[in-house]
Amino acid sequence: LRELVEQARGQPAQSKEGEPFSLQLNLGVQVDKSWLQALQSDGVGLFRTEIPFMLRERFPTESEQVELYREVLQQFAEQTVVMRTLDVGGDKPLPYLPLSEENPFLGWRGIRLTLDQPEIFLMQIRAMLKASINTCSLRILLPMVSTVEEVDEALRMIKQAHHEVSEEVAEDPQQHLHYPQVGVMIEVPAVLYQLDVIAEKIDFFSVGSNDLTQYLLAVDRNNERVSALYDAYHPAVIRALAEIAQTCQRLQKPISVCGELAGEPGGALLLAAMGYRNLSMNGYSLDHVRWMLSQLTLAQMQSVLEQVLAARSAPQVHEILALEMEKLG
């Protein structure tokens, strides 16, 4: 199987009958550049900017951030790079921003924290924009959104940062600054019921299936006592994902999935059958998912999805998928 999977590299990402998929990378920590290049991804679907922040002892300055972001944007200059604004809090504390909360996952995290600390948000956006000068690859993604007001406020600040950087750039005719596309993560269940309102304001959505699973099932994703209950293949999660795909198709809003599910062959199969065409995952999952997609027609994937949607429990879903994976070898 490993050989077959490795042979998939270099092939276009497509289903057996040729339906194309865009397979992108989730990045955070520095990894070997030549390895990344060899994976032949379609750009970066999620750059977790909090990881370099977590590895330091103080907030990186604006110019340090510009360096960090420029490196990624330059490496993927021909493609798109989705940079997520700082998603700290919850399970991702910063050593230099100690938080003590009884329920950190329901607390001050992601966009909530950065909108309350506008200087952090503005500095990060300015750094992203400066790093993107003379490229068109930057896209900005907002994490942990739960209200429309957060989207409005973030868009207003992005506009402000863009205005500031444009003024600096205006003096140099060699420097061109694009306005980046802006997207919202679907990871708090409330967003599922406001997709239409939010879609009018933004350019794309990205599903964070890790947090969406945690919040739909009310299971702390890091608590071992309840870890058996944390399952992205729970029928409720699967149905939510299918609904999101349908709604975004109706709204004609681009959507991708960047949670772990997209990098699991069984998960990718279901997502493909639901209509998702953009999947973002860790580098080591890319070949496997590319290979799996090439082995099945969309109709075959849809027939697996039908069985899964009729299942009553997560174990039943796993059983159906295990059987399919076994057939593939």
Examine residue 208 and tell whether it contacts Mg ion (CB under 5 A): yes
| Cα Dmax for the chain | 62
Asked if residue 211 binds Mg ion (CB under 5 A), the reply is yes
Q: Buried b vs exposed e over 276-288: b needs ≥16 C-beta within 10 Å?
A: bbbbbbebebbbb
End-to-end CA distance of the chain: 7
Between CA 51 and CA 44 the distance in angstroms is 15
Binding-site member from 183, 259, 263, 265 for ligand PEP (CB under 6 A):
259
209 binds, among Mg ion, ligand PEP, none (CB under 5 to 8 A by kind): ligand PEP
- Minimum distance of ligand PEP from residue 289's CB (angstroms): 16
- The tokens for 293 are 């997609």
**Can you say how many angstroms the Cα of residue 139 is from the centroid of all Cα atoms in its chain?**
11
Nearer to ligand PEP, 187 or 324 (CB): 187
Residue 156 makes CB contacts below 8 A (sequence gap 6+) with: none
Told to check if 282 binds ligand PEP by CB under 6 A, we report no
Q: Toward ligand PEP, which CB reaches closer, 42 or 324?
A: 42
Q: Give the residue among 99, 110, 96 at the shortest CA–CA distance from 214.
A: 110
Beta carbon of residue 46, minimum distance to ligand PEP (angstroms, whole number): 6
- Least separation in angstroms between residue 70's CB and ligand PEP is 22
Q: Which is nearer to ligand PEP, 214 or 247 (CB)?
A: 214
Query: Rule CB under 5 A: which of 36-55 touch Mg ion?
Result: none
Residues 205-244, mask of contacts with ligand PEP (x by CB under 6 A)? ---xxxx---------------------------------
Residue number, nearest CB to ligand PEP: 208
Q: Which is nearer to Mg ion, 26 or 132 (CB)?
A: 26
Binding status of residue 260 toward Mg ion by CB under 5 A: no
Each residue 84-113 as x (binds ligand PEP by CB under 6 A) or -, in order, gives ---x--------------------------
Q: Which does 258 bind (CB under 5 to 8 A by kind): Mg ion, ligand PEP, none?
A: ligand PEP
Site string for ligand PEP, 189-208 (x = CB under 6 A): -------------------x
How many residues touch ligand PEP under the rule CB under 6 A: the total is 10
CA distances from 145 to 47, 58, 92, 196 (A): 17, 26, 16, 14
Side-chain half-sphere exposure of 145, counting CA atoms within 13 A: 31
Q: State the binding string over 39-58 for ligand PEP (x if CB under 6 A, else -).
A: -------x-x----------
Binding window for Mg ion (CB under 5 A); candidates: 129-137, 166-174, 182-190, 297-305:
182-190
Give the span between the Cα atoms of 119 and 63, in whole angstroms: 14
Site residues for Mg ion per CB under 5 A: 187, 208, 211
Site residues for ligand PEP per CB under 6 A: 46, 48, 87, 187, 208-211, 258-259
